[in-house]
Amino acid sequence: MTDEMKPANFDRRMLEALVCPQTKQLLEYNAETQELISRGVRLAFPIRNGIPILLVDEARVLD
């Protein structure tokens, strides 16, 4: 995979500042799926090109 095709790395230090837009609780980082997880509302927010997308409409509902 070329560098251009690799997903951008997520800066884990951002986790200290990012919260769920609904619950205002801290999010968990899932490196495998490149998502931020909100256990309180069972949503997974995508990380695209290293940028967290904290929009409920863009989140995936967890089973």
> Is residue 4 very low, low, confident or very high in pLDDT (cuts 50, 70, 90)?
very low
| Tokens found for residue 21 | 């837009």
Q: Which domain holds residue 37?
A: 12-61
Separation between Cα atoms, residue 25 and residue 30, nearest integer Å: 16
What pLDDT does 5 receive? 43
Q: Which domain CATH number covers 54?
A: 2.20.25.10
Q: Does residue 45 sit within a domain?
A: yes
What pLDDT does 34 receive? 93
What pLDDT does 57 receive? 97
pLDDT digits (tens, 9 = 90+) for 7-63: 567 777 878 889 999 999 999 999 899 999 999 999 999 999 889 999 999 999 999
Q: Does residue 57 sit within a domain?
A: yes
What pLDDT does 3 receive? 45
The set of residues, in sequence order, having a beta carbon less than 8 Å from that of 61 and lying 6+ positions away, is: 42, 43, 44
User: Is residue 17 within 8 Å of 27, Cβ to Cβ?
Assistant: no
